[in-house]
Structure 1
Amino acid sequence: MMVVAALLSWFLVGLFIRASKARGWGQPIRVDGPAHQHKEGTPTAGGVPFVLALALVFFPLYLSGQFQGGQAGGQRELILMLGALGMGVIGGIDDLLKVRSRMVGGKKELLAREKFPLQILVALVFAYFAAPLASHELVPGFGRWGDMALITFVMVGAVNAFNFADGLDSLLAGLSIIVLLPLIALSPASALLVAVLLGFLWFNAHPARVFMGDMGSHAIGAIAAGAYILYADVWLLPLAAIIPVAAVLSVVIQVVSFKTRGKRVFKMSPIQHHFEHPDVGWPETHVTMRFWMITALATAAVWWLLGGRP
């Protein structure tokens, strides 16, 4: 079914690109950002069709009872997918506002004070059902409520970390595939996400014909966090997702430093844009490839720590 998912994603993303170009749903480029002005007008919100492909393949498989692991395995996969779709809808609202503002004006995106409560709500619901099904007790001595608090924090953190790791052609899609590789034999949702990302990468490879947008990054972050919680070890997720963690930390450090000291630590943030800044001078493709390599080494360490098991 991974082949079916990859081909369906490829087909839907291709259709989305044609529709986006016909309707002018292009991505605006910040003039104060990295030198990406040549990408102005590239279709955005490409996560919408690959998340749709993911759902279209996942739910028939789930309803037909083809997931291994009995009832518990099916429950894990269902709450994992519903959590991803819940986070994806939040990102999709952001994508819709961005496209709409470019076409007819109005609000440009969800504000942080609007987005975070929605993310926390989805994460809390996921945590309520995921805590009893986690691979082990996550916070020893604190019981289910301690596990729920940690799961909520990890889910919201992962969604935002993976979102901040976007911004270069194929960067997020490629590193997400690597992060999920240790889990594809355990979690059908993770395996199907890898497949649909391969279909998306066909068009997102440099020079990108479509950008992912927030729906895609939110869904990826949710599945990565949920799969490590349910099937592996939540404490290994920051190692595997070392680049998303570095991306979100670079933003936090940059904001805190500027507000408290009036100085910037990085040339730009998130950190991928620091390295492509003219003063550092890495080409975009070099940043992407090197970040993939770092992720591959970190994920290999995770695989070893898990005992090399699928």
Structure 2
Amino acid sequence: MYAQVQTIFYSGILALIVALVLGPLLIPVLHRLKFGQSIRQEGPKSHQAKAGTPTMGGIIILVALCVPMLLFFFDKPAIWLALFVTLGHGLLGFLDDFIKVVLKRNLGLTAKQKLLGQIIMAVALAYVVTSYFGLGTDIWIPFFNQSIDFGSLYFIVIFFVLVGTTNAVNLTDGLDGLAAGTTVISAGTYALISYYFGNIELAAFSLATAGACLGFLVYNIHPAKVFMGDTGSLALGGVLATVAVMTKTEFLLIIVGGVYVVETLSVMIQVVSFKTTGKRVFKMSPIHHHFELSGWSEQKVVGVFWSASLLLSIFALSILIMNQGGR
């Protein structure tokens, strides 16, 4: 048991070190390649100073995550599945970033192209976990401590979990350090959840993600020297969704990732309100921009959101323990 805990710990530390080392090496390269972020004109005026900050920094996170996984868990099928979904979303994000930043096509990948890629990964994830890992098509419901068997609808549920989580993390990536810091907390929480269920590989995978994000955060904290771009945000959403599916805690992810959920809901509310009434509920969505335009400093918004994420994660863990593991 001690050796397993050691491996989990080493995975997180190694990912952190790799990210810290990669930052000074990759950021100048992104600068030279002119992979600079363009800033929305309608956004907060303070953000205009960020124009030209290199993006696609998610590469740092992905490399830092892969190193300990391939070093310690090269022969583990669960890790290869998790990496497939994570790197698959990272590739989608990279292509989207490349088209927008390098080819100067503002829309990036089309919605159909993204959707096709996400459908492939969702089907692969659902098929492998049910056919090869024998996890079944049931999902645990927090608070009620019951599991519901979704049967053939399970594939559809997994698709929405995957698409919803990746897009939610993507929407959260709008302020320096916001998505990276929130994911440190969420992924760290899933390391504890995975360990609670005795899944050492996923615990290490989650902690390595947290370590990689923490290392990246050194260069992404305000004022950011690099942005993760869709390359990082879509991949991180893939991490959280995959671990939630493989631990059968898909609905618990709604609590752990409550900040992502609120960000997404704010966009949905804004769109529906404007289309139906012509009025905006928020000064700007996602909601982190609303607080900025209300006079909060960027650092204050990020700090409050990190704190909310931490409290939600503690709440989720308490639910898990009180329900004796759910499964």
TM over 0.5: yes
Which blocks of at least 5 consecutive residues in structure 2 are unaligned? 1-9, 140-146, 196-201
Question: Which deviations, in whole Å up to 9, do the C-alpha atoms of 1:221-259 show, x marking residues without a partner?
Answer: 111111122125111111111111111111122122222
Query: Partner residue of 2:89?
Result: 87
Indicate the SS of the match to 1:140: strand
1:209 correspondence with 2:225: yes
Give 1:107 shift.
5.6
8 Å Cα contact 1:12/1:50 also seen in 2: no
Give, in whole Å, the separation in 1 of the partners of 2:230 and 2:73. Answer: 26
Question: Which deviations, in whole Å up to 9, do the C-alpha atoms of 1:49-96 show, x marking residues without a partner?
Answer: 221221233123222x4xxxxxxxx33322112111111111111111
Query: Partner residue of 2:312?
Result: 298
- Residue identity opposite 1:211 in structure 2: F
- Residue identity opposite 1:137 in structure 2: D
TM-score (norm 1): 0.89
1:254 correspondence with 2:270: yes
Query: Partner residue of 2:63?
Result: 52
1:142 correspondence with 2:142: no
8 Å Cα contact 2:19/2:216 also seen in 1: yes
After TM superposition, the structure 1 stretch with the greater mean CA deviation from structure 2, 297-306 or 258-267, is: 258-267
Query: Partner residue of 1:307?
Result: 321
Determine which of 36, 40, 44 is the counterpart of 1:26.
36
Determine which of 201, 221, 227 is the counterpart of 2:237.
221
Give, in whole Å, the separation in 2 of the partners of 1:177 and 1:106. Answer: 32
Give 1:34 shift.
1.7
Paired-residue identity, %:
37
Give, in whole Å, the separation in 2 of the partners of 1:99 and 1:16. Answer: 17
Alignment of 1:1-310 (within 5 A): 1=10, 2-35=12-45, 36-63=47-74, 65=75, 74-101=76-103, 105-106=104-105, 108-131=107-130, 133=133, 134=135, 137-138=138-139, 140-143=148-151, 145-185=152-192, 186=195, 187=202, 188-231=204-247, 233-277=249-293, 280-307=294-321
Question: Which deviations, in whole Å up to 9, do the C-alpha atoms of 1:132-184 show, x marking residues without a partner?
Answer: 544882273432x2322211110110000110011101011111111122322
Give, in whole Å, the separation in 2 of the partners of 1:21 and 1:244. Answer: 29
8 Å Cα contact 1:135/1:230 also seen in 2: no
Query: Partner residue of 2:5?
Result: none
Q: CA RMSD in A?
A: 2.0
- Residue identity opposite 1:50 in structure 2: I
Query: Partner residue of 1:69?
Result: none
Which blocks of at least 5 consecutive residues in structure 1 are unaligned? 66-73
Give, in whole Å, the separation in 1 of the partners of 2:57 and 2:83. Answer: 19
- Residue identity opposite 1:85 in structure 2: L
Give, in whole Å, the separation in 1 of the partners of 2:317 and 2:105. Answer: 47
- Residue identity opposite 2:127 in structure 1: Y
8 Å Cα contact 2:14/2:208 also seen in 1: no
Give 1:106 shift.
4.2
8 Å Cα contact 2:130/2:137 also seen in 1: no
Distance 1:15 1:108, change over 3 A: farther
TM-score (norm 2): 0.85
8 Å Cα contact 1:171/1:288 also seen in 2: yes
Give, in whole Å, the separation in 2 of the partners of 1:114 and 1:269. Answer: 25
8 Å Cα contact 2:137/2:149 also seen in 1: no
8 Å Cα contact 1:13/1:50 also seen in 2: no
